Chain A
Amino acid sequence: MELSITTTPSTRRWLNRYLLPVAALLLALTLPPRAQAREYLQLFVVQPYLELHTAPGRGYPVTQVVVRGESVDVLMRRTDWFKVRTERGIEGWANERDLAQTTLADGSPFQINLGDRDGFTSHRWESGIFGGAYEGATLISAYQALSLTDHLKVELSASQFLGNLSNGWLVDLGLSHVFMPEWRISPFVTLGGGYERVEPKATLALPVSSSNQTAYVGVGVRYYLARRLFLRGELRAHEIFTNQNANEVKNEWKVGIAFFY
């Protein structure tokens, strides 16, 4: 009560606008994840033994082993590590490479995407962060791609450009075709459309913001680094559909680091 008496209207507004949502978010975040009765995947050890580490990392000590013929329940996965529970109720972390040598209940091998060259060739999702330039302005960009096939991907990218004369945003949705996804250096072409927002800086005589639809075509190359990481660079030419007599063409280049999963 004292708080409401001593606060000014602007402070109260600030509290309502920012602090309450943040507090609610924090509260929601600090509650434990929803507990639910779920069935776990059961895997059988067929190698002489399966090592269990105390935590998800190669340096953490191995304190337990599961011998051949016994099974483990897979509780969860964190990056390259799986938290498992043995038949005796002991929990530990198994590496994906060790777990890839276990079998399912029907005897078939347990198959996982290991995050190697094969994963680079064939995966479902990829994301990345780029830096570059858009018509001379510095560009910051991020993208998310969904693989329809190993060759064909749907890509959504969002970029912000910061120039001397204007700032703005780009949002693009398109398709990209990777020619040789199994190659370490694999080229691709991309095609799509989007939306551009330009906000001229106030130093200009007539600062008028504009929003336009765009279409783009581009070429690029992906270079596999290691594990789940690869480099990606691309050039795009954007056709900006303005309400003036002629459309504009703006060029973009960007390079960055991306990962697949």
Chain B
Amino acid sequence: MESRHSVLLLSLVTLALSGCALFHRHAKPDDSAQASSDSDSNAPPPTVIEPQVERRTIKVPTIHPSNVEIGAYYGELSIQDFGAQPVYGVRLDYHISEDFFAEAIYGRAKAGFTSFETLSNIQIISDAERRFTYYNLSLGYNLLPGEVFIGRNLAMTSSFYVIGGIGSVKFAGDQNFAVNFGAGFRVLPTDWLAVHIDVQDLVFRSAVTGEEQLKNNLQATIGATVFF
């Protein structure tokens, strides 16, 4: 019992002491401030001249990254069974390293007529369904980097690359998973401009002409991109 009382008493004393410290914490600075101001009024004015120059904040210039390519292309797409038609699209590339780049493409074309349709004069798909749109997400590899020379004084960096990816094709009233692979050639007349020549195969499974089969759709395009 006694020890319990002593613990209680001790804790009360500790609390009281800490409480006093709290009061003093506020009181003390005032006292000392008064004292110092008293001593300041007696002291001679400071003779050190404080420079009135504002400190400059030095900003380290940032480095401009230029790894993104945005552009458009135009060419010919051979839609299996539906003839070769003009194709156009937009592309976005991101250069991951010296060797690899990622690419997103969105393109569209309009299919022609199958030989059956031409001979029989019966349309197997409607005009709206002839719209062929696709997108790809691909990874490319700069297989043969190099230079092209035009005349004696002009050298432009270039690269022959291989590319492959996945995406989808919307055609004939259906949307299908598609795989794309191919190769291309990129020439840079300046650091910010590139000219591309690409050949790719878009492969997807479709039953538009009767039985379901793999459709190979080869496209050859020429395009221009700008680096950002």
Contacts and interface: CB of A to CB of B under 8 A. Distances in A.
Interface of A: 22, 25-26, 29-30, 32-33, 38-41, 54-60, 74-83, 104, 115, 127, 129, 131, 138, 140, 142, 160, 162, 167, 201-202, 227-229, 257, 259, 261
A75 B166 CA distance: 36
A41 B66 contact: no
B61 A40 contact: yes
A259 B192 CA distance: 23
Nearest to A75: B64
Contacts of B100: 227-229, 259
B94 A57 contact: no
Contacts of A138: 177
B220 to A, nearest CB: 19
A78 B228 contact: no
Interface residues of B, number: 47
Nearest to A57: B145
Interface stretch (B8-16, B33-41, B168-176): B168-176
Interface of B is mostly: strand
A76 B64 CA distance: 5
Contacts of B176: 162
A55 B62 contact: no
22 contacts: A29-B72, A33-B192, A55-B147, A57-B98, A57-B157, A58-B98, A76-B64, A76-B191, A77-B63, A78-B65, A78-B227, A79-B96, A79-B98, A83-B191, A127-B94, A129-B102, A129-B165, A162-B168, A162-B177, A227-B99, A229-B97, A229-B100
Interface string B94-109: 1111111010100000
B88 interface: yes
